[in-house]
Every structure is written in structure tokens, then in C-alpha cells.
Structure 1
Amino acid sequence: MIFETVKKDNGALGITTGIENPIPLIALFLVLTAVLTMIRAIYQGLKQRREQLLNASGH
């Protein structure tokens, strides 16, 4: 990330930010999305298995 300060005409300082190379940020977003999707799928599978077990023991 890049942080820059710029002196304005009225004497105040302005701060600008930016990203020099967005590829690592995009890669991190994709990895986190994949991990969260897998966690959600595992959770749904476990929830469904729990319901099956509860229904089987209820007979």
C-alpha cells in the first residue's frame, strides 16, 4: 500500500492512499472466499448428518 501526504494551498495536509500491486490482495480475496465456501459446505453437511442421526434415533 502507498500512503502520500500532499500539502494543500490553504496549508492543510491531504492524505492519499493506493495499492501499488493489487495482485496479492486479489489472491488473498480469492483464497479467503474459497476457504469460507468450504467451511460453509462442511457445516451444511454436518448439520444434515446431525438431522439424519436425530431422525434415526427418534424411531
Structure 2
Amino acid sequence: MGSLFEESEAREAAARARVEELEVELAELSGKLELARESLKSLRIAPEQSPTFSRR
């Protein structure tokens, strides 16, 4: 059985690893969100720039 100090260090290391995993996941999702926003933006602009587009 480990000491209380060792157990605390292990919990801290696990928490740090989880934070790092979430930071990577957040960065990936942020990139996907930015791409989706750009795609949406281009879809909003495209019809307005098209001379043959007619609203019904």
C-alpha cells in the first residue's frame, strides 16, 4: 500500500493527463468548428453574389 503522498501524486498525475487529453480534444474541435463556420459563411455569401439567384 502506497503512502498518502504517493496516492496524492498519482491522482494529480492522472488529473494532469486528463486535462492534457481534453486540451487536445478542444483544439481539434476548435479547428472543426472554425471550418464549419467558414463553410456556413461561404454558403451565406454565395447566393447573394450570384446574379442568377432569385429568392422565392
What's the TM-score bracket when you normalise by the shorter of the two chains? 0.5 to 0.7
Q: Which has the higher strand share?
A: 1
User: TM-score scaled to structure 2, two decimals?
Assistant: 0.63
Determine the structure 2 residue equivalent to 1:48.
38
Gaps of 5+ in 1: 3-17
Q: Which runs of 5+ in 2 are unaligned?
A: 50-56
User: Normalising by the residue count of structure 1, what TM-score does the alignment of the two structures yield?
Assistant: 0.60
Identity of aligned residues (%): 14
Alpha-carbon separation, structure 1, partners of 2:24 and 2:9 = 25
2:16 is matched with 26
For residues 19 and 48 of structure 1, the distance between their equivalents in structure 2, rounded to whole angstroms, comes to: 45
Q: State the 4+ residue runs in structure 1 displaced beyond 4 angstroms.
A: none
Secondary structure at the residue paired with 2:9?
A: coil
Counterpart secondary structure, 1:58: helix
Aligned residues: 43
